[in-house]
Amino acid sequence: MSPEGKKLLNIIILGFGFMFMFTAFQTCGNIEQTVIKSFNSTEFHGSGYTSMAIIYGVFSASNLIAPSVVAVIGPQLSMFFSGLLYSLYIAMFIYPYTWSFYTASVLVGIAAAVLWTAQGNVLTINSTDSTIGRNSGIFWALLQFSLFFGNLYIYCAWHGHVHITDKDRRTVFISLTVISLVGCFLFFLIRKPDSECSSSAEATEPLLQEESCDNTATSGVLTSAVLSAVRACKLFITKEMLLLGVSIGYTGLELTFYSGVYGTCIGAMMSFGQDAKSLIGISGICIGVGEILGGSVFGILNKRIGFGRNPIVLLGFITHIIAFYLIFLNIASDAPLAPEEGTDLEAFIAPSVGVALFCSFLLGLGDSCFNTQLLSIIGFMFHDNSAPAFAVFKFIQSIMAALAFYYSNYLLLHWQLLILVVVGFLGTITFFKVEHMANSSRRQSDYDSI
């Protein structure tokens, strides 16, 4: 197999590994608040929103050390051991206790930082400037298939159920745990690119060069670990990353909304009938369809159709504005905070399942527009420092997600939507500025090479 073919195969395996893991984890996050409300045990006093706030809060802090961990043990083992902790969190719901619930939340927060830093590292060293957009799209599309398969399973398992029994819960979470473990072991199929150790003149990843090319130099690896942490701090205060931080922060807020809050809102709408709980699964499928469509069209094909990044991000923002407006009209304002019995309040129009599911699709489509282009521009602008750059990316995204999960415990729906609109607008503007800087840098590079 050619070196380019091996790199593409690595990206596909990476995507499938994440697809299996997040089929389990994203489905877990989508249903956990609904599941917790249905617990028969009076000894459990956890909150799904609080758990997610802990996960993303610890995630954000752990991004400061994640590049060092990847430098010491390598991206492959980093993803494997992180995946095991994800599986542990999901398995906790089989026999849940409050202490184990929140302990697992902390561990997953640490694991997430290492996992996504390693993912960004693998994505970058298997890409060039000409393939980073394609590879980002392939990875994103495969990852988002997780929303389709996991939520389809939830719909089939819970169709017609008004209350989630202990048996229903255990069956679902045993299945999800096994699926997550399959994804962990797929990471061992990723192979080192042929060009990784060939020449220091090539734009390969310094972080992995030191580890893979000189395994005996332990002191050199530890030095690399320290340097990668320093690089992350330096990258954080660069003009480009500070501007991108607004866009990245918005993806954290809307990640919270579509992955946790919106599904809970749909499940709480009594006017949607007895199938409201199973509609959570259908909503997740619609989100997944939007994510896959966006990742495929705007990630894989953007190089051929020559759109560039700005129009795609603008489309993502407009798509989200339409979704937020329709949700505001269709979903009751107290839905995020409603008890298990749900809410009988209505918004400004007669509640429509079709509108609710259409909004799910728009949320997924808009999210894919933002994330594929952020992956692309970060991989382009910080190619030689990808692990620290993606660590900063996940630091900003996760701290905003943690903030959003925290205020989701208290804010009514319309206030949450207002925050999303304001931050989304600012994030779109700042992305345009960074894309202009990236284009200027590319033109200058082309001129210098003449």
Which of the two residues, 433 and 133, has the higher pLDDT score? 433
Residue of 38, 276, 239, 7 lying closest to 127 (CA atoms): 7
> What average pLDDT does range 251-271 have in this prediction?
85
pLDDT band at 250 (very low <50, low <70, confident <90, very high): very high
pLDDT tens by residue, 302-337: 555 456 788 889 999 999 999 999 999 999 998 888
Residue 199: which pLDDT band, with cuts at 50, 70 and 90? very low
Q: How far is CA 380 from CA 136, 314, 349, 374, in A?
A: 11, 20, 45, 10
DSSP 114: H
Q: Would you list the domain boundaries of the chain?
A: 1-190, 231-442
CA 87, distance to chain mean position in Å, is: 16
262-286 pLDDT, tens digit per residue, is 988 887 776 666 666 678 778 888 9
- Specify which residues 343 forms β-bridges with: 269
Distances (CA, A) of 3 to 198, 249, 311: 12, 36, 33
Tally of residues, the chain: 450
Beta-carbon contacts of 363 under 8 Å, excluding residues fewer than 6 positions away, are 254, 257, 258, 262, 287, 290, 320, 323
* CATH class entry, domain 1-190: mainly alpha
pTM of the shown model: 0.75
Q: Which fold has domain 231-442?
A: Growth Hormone; Chain: A; (1.20.1250)
DSSP 38-91: T---SS----HHHHHHHHHHHHHHHTTTHHHHHHHHHHHHHHHHHHHHHHHHHH
Band (pLDDT 50/70/90 cuts) for residue 224 is low
All residues at 6 or more sequence positions from 162 whose CB lies less than 8 Å from its CB, including other chains: 274, 277
Ordered alpha helix ranges (H), 261-305: 262-268, 276-294, 302-305
Predicted confidence (pLDDT) at residue 406 exceeds the cutoff of 70: yes
21 falls in which pLDDT band (50, 70, 90)? very high
